[in-house]
């Protein structure tokens, strides 16, 4: 929005954004600068002249693009199915986003328990591309499905107008519906591409070396060969692609032409068609999420694993891992809360540069963050501070982006009335603004906590033995042969999934209850 002539933009946004900009400069931009310097100076030539790295880039692009097309191709017919009322419709629609907040290790353990070497089905898909695309669909389908379900009701009026002008149903949909839905489909597909292209935990545990993404190869170069120049060059390659896709995503967001309808908007169906539709949709989701159900079943196979996992002499005890996970999440939240709130308020007050810059932590991979810290702050290696900063950097945008829509939706008249009545900025914040946005802040905090609890890439890069979290404890047990370590890993995955589900319940509560 342009500022009218004769007035100036209020400076509150710039002042509020200063702490966030300082944090980004130290926690993101400077480490990335060190990566850039080392990658261009030494590693770039080694990466460009090695055909193996070219194959990793090609596979990462194919994985991201294939995942996007798969999610779009299945989300579109599902969105039309969700236009109708059938038993369990609201539950399935809400559950479609649950896997997105699950830690990658939980999802990977689910697939190993179902279609791994020791899987329930006796079908070993480990080390195949099929299991990776299945996992990507499980993770990301809700990102495309839920916005489409909300947008489809807005198609009714333009499609009816096209039919009135003589267009056939197919022509009306092709010439009117697809162009209107196009930005939403491409926007959702861009997000799926970014998450799949930069994925780490699932390809590391399920794909093997043949299907390693750039992110996995960066970790191998760093952890196995100590090849810092090559690792930094791979990070730069990944950043270049991600930046192009992110800019396209932001442009698509600006071009979205349809208004968002309510998720509850649906059409009636007769009992028999409704039952048939419910059978089809429920069958699809049960098949899609079968790795999660199998994880729960495998956790009950060996009850002794529930006892041995807490005081295992050969691995990090489960109690220690749980304590570290909760403790690190609590420490990181102390930094996430002020950063996320300041970020949201600064953007709301007009700091447009920070609006774009604040998305960078979501674009940069956790492994790259860990590598950047090792290069930029060698004196802090082995310090818990560096791990907490990494957690805060990767999660505070989730809180800020959840809070920002609520701030923008606040009635301007209420805030201005409080200002006219003499309330200062702090009093307006406490008495007027905060009560209207606290539910969104609660949901954003839950989403940020879920991301911290399940974080794996940065933790693995910056790890120390005494810092073992639930994710690292699972990974530790998967590296040992034998049935008991595998079942202990399954138990820890169920515990981690329970934590994430509890945080999701907090998130959903924040969205459901009016602020």
Residue 265's pLDDT band (cuts 50, 70, 90): low
A 10 A CB-CB count for 179 gives 11
Q: Of all helices (H) and strands (E), which one includes residue 201?
A: helix 201-202
Query: What residues pair up with 267 in beta bridges, in sequence order?
Result: 84
**Sole residue written with tokens 């039952």:** 275
Q: For the stretch 128-139, what's the b/e string if a residue is b when 16 or more beta carbons lie within 10 angstroms of its beta carbon? A: beebbbbbbbbb
The pLDDT tens digits for 383-440 are 889 999 999 998 888 888 778 777 777 666 555 565 555 555 555 655 556 666 667 7
Which pLDDT does position 496 carry in this prediction? Answer: 86
* pLDDT at position 511 over 50: no
Mean per-residue pLDDT, 281-291? 93
Q: Which of 133 and 227 is assigned the larger pLDDT?
A: 133
Tell me the residue ranges of DSSP E strands in 163-244: none
Which pLDDT does position 435 carry in this prediction? Answer: 64
Quick one: how far is CA 162 from the chain centroid? 38
DSSP-assigned letter for residue 465: G
* pLDDT at position 171 over 50: yes
In CATH terms, are 12-38+302-515 and 50-260+269-299 the same topology?
A: yes
Q: Which of 507 and 283 is assigned the larger pLDDT?
A: 283
Q: Where are the domains of the chain?
A: 12-38+302-515, 50-260+269-299
* pLDDT at position 261 over 80: no
The pLDDT tens digits for 408-418 are 776 665 555 65
Which pLDDT does position 232 carry in this prediction? Answer: 81
Residue 459 vs residues 57, 209, 242, 454: alpha-carbon distances, Å:
24, 21, 22, 10
Mean pLDDT is highest, among 173-182, 184-193, 199-208, for: 199-208
Burial of 403 (0-12, 13-18, 19+ CB in 10 A): buried
The pLDDT tens digits for 130-154 are 999 999 999 888 888 887 887 777 7
Which pLDDT does position 178 carry in this prediction? Answer: 72
Burial of 337 (0-12, 13-18, 19+ CB in 10 A): middle
Spatial distance between the Cα atoms of 490 and 115, rounded to a whole number of angstroms: 14
* pLDDT at position 503 over 80: no
Which pLDDT does position 260 carry in this prediction? Answer: 41
Q: Which residues contact 272 (CB under 8 A, 6 or more apart)?
A: none
Residue 219's pLDDT band (cuts 50, 70, 90): confident
Tell me the residue ranges of DSSP E strands in 94-205: none
Question: Closest Cα partner for 343 from 10, 13, 28?
Answer: 13
HSE toward the beta carbon, residue 78, CA cutoff 13 A: 23
H helices, E strands: number in the chain:
27, 0
**Sole residue written with tokens 């939706």:** 409
- Percentage of the chain surpassing pLDDT 90? 13
Which pLDDT does position 135 carry in this prediction? Answer: 93
Report the chain's C-alpha Rg in angstroms: 24
Which pLDDT does position 138 carry in this prediction? Answer: 92
Question: What is the rounded end-to-end Cα distance, in angstroms, of the chain?
Answer: 26
Which pLDDT does position 65 carry in this prediction? Answer: 94
Spatial distance between the Cα atoms of 512 and 384, rounded to a whole number of angstroms: 36
Which pLDDT does position 504 carry in this prediction? Answer: 67
* pLDDT at position 255 over 70: no
The pLDDT tens digits for 25-67 are 999 989 888 877 777 767 777 788 888 888 999 999 999 999 9
Mean per-residue pLDDT, 229-246? 82
Residue 372 vs residues 59, 100, 249, 384: alpha-carbon distances, Å:
24, 26, 26, 16
DSSP-assigned letter for residue 433: I
CATH of 50-260+269-299, one of 1.10.150.120, 1.10.2020.10, 1.10.3720.10, 3.10.180.10: 1.10.3720.10
Q: Which of 359 and 420 is assigned the larger pLDDT?
A: 359
Spatial distance between the Cα atoms of 364 and 238, rounded to a whole number of angstroms: 9
12-38+302-515 folds as MetI-like fold (1.10.3720)
Query: Are 196 and 138 spatial neighbours (Cβ–Cβ below 8 Å)?
Result: no
The pLDDT tens digits for 62-110 are 999 999 999 999 998 898 888 888 888 888 887 787 777 778 888 888 8
Mean per-residue pLDDT, 285-300? 90
183-192, 259-268, 381-390: which has the minimum mean pLDDT?
259-268
Burial of 450 (0-12, 13-18, 19+ CB in 10 A): buried
Alpha-helical segments (H) within 364-467: 366-376, 384-408, 412-420, 425-428, 434-453, 457-462
* pLDDT at position 262 over 50: no
Question: Closest Cα partner for 195 from 149, 251, 143, 248?
Answer: 143
- For residue 155 the two structure tokens come to 């198609």
* pLDDT at position 455 over 70: yes
Q: Which of 502 and 213 is assigned the larger pLDDT?
A: 213
Query: What residues pair up with 84 in beta bridges, in sequence order?
Result: 267
Which pLDDT does position 515 carry in this prediction? Answer: 39
Quick one: how far is CA 455 from the chain centroid? 11
Helix then strand then coil, % of the chain, to nearest 5: 80, 0, 20
Report the chain's mean pLDDT, rounded to a whole number.
80
The pLDDT tens digits for 154-167 are 777 777 777 777 77
């Amino acid at each position: 929005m342009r500022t009218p002539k004769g007035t100036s933009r209020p400076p509150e946004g710039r002042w509020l954004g200063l702490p966030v900009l300082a944090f980004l400069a130290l926690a993101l931009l400077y480490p990335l600068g060190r990566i850039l310097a080392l990658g261009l100076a030494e590693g770039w030539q080694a990466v460009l002249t090695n055909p193996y790295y070219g194959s990793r880039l090609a596979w990462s692009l194919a994985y991201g693009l294939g995942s996007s097309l798969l999610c779009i191709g299945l989300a579109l017919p599902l969105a039309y199915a969700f236009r109708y009322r059938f038993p369990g419709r609201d539950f399935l629609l809400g559950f479609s986003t649950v896997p997105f907040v699950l830690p990658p290790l939980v999802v990977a353990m689910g697939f190993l328990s179902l279609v791994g070497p020791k899987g329930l089905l006796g079908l070993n898909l480990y080390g195949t591309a099929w299991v990776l695309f299945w996992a990507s669909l499980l993770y990301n389908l809700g990102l495309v499905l839920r916005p489409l379900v909300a947008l489809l009701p807005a198609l009714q009026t333009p499609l009816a107008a096209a039919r009135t002008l003589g267009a056939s149903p197919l022509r009306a949909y092709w010439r009117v519906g697809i162009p209107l839905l196009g930005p939403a489909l491409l926007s959702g597909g861009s997000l799926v591409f970014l998450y799949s292209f930069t994925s780490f935990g699932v390809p590391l545990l399920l794909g093997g070396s043949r299907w390693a993404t750039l992110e996995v190869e960066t970790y191998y170069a760093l952890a196995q060969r100590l090849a810092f120049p090559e690792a930094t060059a791979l990070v730069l390659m990944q950043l270049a692609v991600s930046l192009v896709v992110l800019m396209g995503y932001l442009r698509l967001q600006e071009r979205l032409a349809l208004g968002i309808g309510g998720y509850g908007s649906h059409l009636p169906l007769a009992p028999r068609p409704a039952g048939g539709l419910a059978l089809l949709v429920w069958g699809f989701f049960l098949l899609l999420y079968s790795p999660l159900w199998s994880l729960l079943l495998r956790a009950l196979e060996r009850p002794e694993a529930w006892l041995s996992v807490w005081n295992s002499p050969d691995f990090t005890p489960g109690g220690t891992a749980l304590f570290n996970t909760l403790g690190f999440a609590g420490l990181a939240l102390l930094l996430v809360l002020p950063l996320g709130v300041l970020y949201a308020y600064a953007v709301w007050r007009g700091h447009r540069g920070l609006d774009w810059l604040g998305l960078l932590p979501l674009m940069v991979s956790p492994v790259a963050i860990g590598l950047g810290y090792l290069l930029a702050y060698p004196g802090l290696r082995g310090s818990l501070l560096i791990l907490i900063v990494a957690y805060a950097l990767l999660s505070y945008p989730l809180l800020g982006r959840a809070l920002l829509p609520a701030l923008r939706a606040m009635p301007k008249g209420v805030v201005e009335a409080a200002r006219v009545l003499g309330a200062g900025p702090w009093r307006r914040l406490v008495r007027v603004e905060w009560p209207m946005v606290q539910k969104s802040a609660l949901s954003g905090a839950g989403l940020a906590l879920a991301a911290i609890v399940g974080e794996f890439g940065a933790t693995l890069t910056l790890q120390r033995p005494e810092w073992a979290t639930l994710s690292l404890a699972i990974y530790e047990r998967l590296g040992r042969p034998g049935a008991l370590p595998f079942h202990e890993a399954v138990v820890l995955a169920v515990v981690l999934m329970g934590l994430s589900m509890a945080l999701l319940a907090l998130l959903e509560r924040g969205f459901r209850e009016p602020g």
